[in-house]
């Protein structure tokens, strides 16, 4: 049930700014997803400037061939004719294939141990430098 409706009178050839949902297809053809990777969606909608008479229902993005660590940026997406992204100052990420959390947690633990070792070494160097004064 509609609560509110706005009507606009648009001139021929007018453009409108709209949010269009993103749909991902061919997930079964992504080696990264087959190996247990997760499709991490950053943007569920794209903010587009479209011809008023050609507003797309959705933007379809093909994930065929994506491996773990790969990401999809706006530059990889073919937008429908008459549509363009309103964000033009950067090549933003729409989604990426990330490692499963079990694999990721073991990698994170290794990184954390490495960071702690570096911090301890830097602290030791700072103490040595401070005791000479």
Same domain flag for 93 and 50: yes
Other beta carbons within 10 angstroms of residue 33's beta carbon come to 19
Helix (H) or strand (E) holding 103: helix 101-131
CA 45 to chain centre: 11
Q: From first to last of its 133 residues, what are the pLDDT tens digits of the chain?
A: 889 998 888 899 999 999 999 999 999 999 999 999 999 999 999 999 999 999 999 999 999 999 999 999 999 999 999 999 999 999 999 999 999 876 555 555 566 666 666 666 566 566 555 544 4
User: Is residue 90 a contact partner of residue 122, using CB atoms and an 8 Å limit?
Assistant: no
Q: Which pair of tokens denotes residue 72?
A: 């999809």
Q: How many CB atoms lie within 10 A of CB 87?
A: 13
86 plus 107 within the same structural domain = no
User: Does residue 7 lie within any of the structural domains?
Assistant: no
Clarify whether residues 109 and 85 are in a common domain.
no
Cβ-based neighbour number of residue 99 at 10 Å? 18
Confidence (pLDDT) at 131: 47
Res 2: pLDDT: 85
pLDDT at 133: 45
- Domain boundaries, position 128: 101-133
- The pTM of this model reads 0.69
Please indicate, yes or no, whether residues 74 and 64 belong to a single structural domain of this protein. yes
Q: Is residue 48 in a domain?
A: yes
Does 2 fall in a domain? no
Determine the Cα–Cα distance for residues 44 and 55; give it in Å rounded to an integer: 17
What are 72-85's pLDDT values in tens digits? Answer: 999 999 999 999 99
């Amino acid at each position: 049930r509609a609560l509110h409706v706005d009507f606009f009178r648009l001139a021929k050839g007018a453009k409108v700014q709209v949010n269009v949902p993103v749909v991902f297809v061919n997930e079964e053809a992504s080696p990264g997803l087959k190996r247990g990777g997760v499709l991490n969606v950053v943007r569920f909608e794209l903010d587009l400037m479209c011809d008023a008479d050609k507003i797309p229902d959705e933007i379809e993005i093909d994930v065929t061939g994506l491996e773990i660590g790969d990401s999809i940026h706006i530059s990889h997406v073919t937008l429908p004719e008459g549509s363009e992204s309103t964000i033009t100052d950067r090549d933003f990420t729409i989604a990426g294939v990330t490692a499963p959390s079990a694999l990721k947690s073991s990698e994170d633990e290794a990184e954390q141990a490495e960071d702690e070792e570096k911090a301890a070494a830097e602290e030791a160097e700072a103490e040595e430098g401070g005791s000479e004064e």
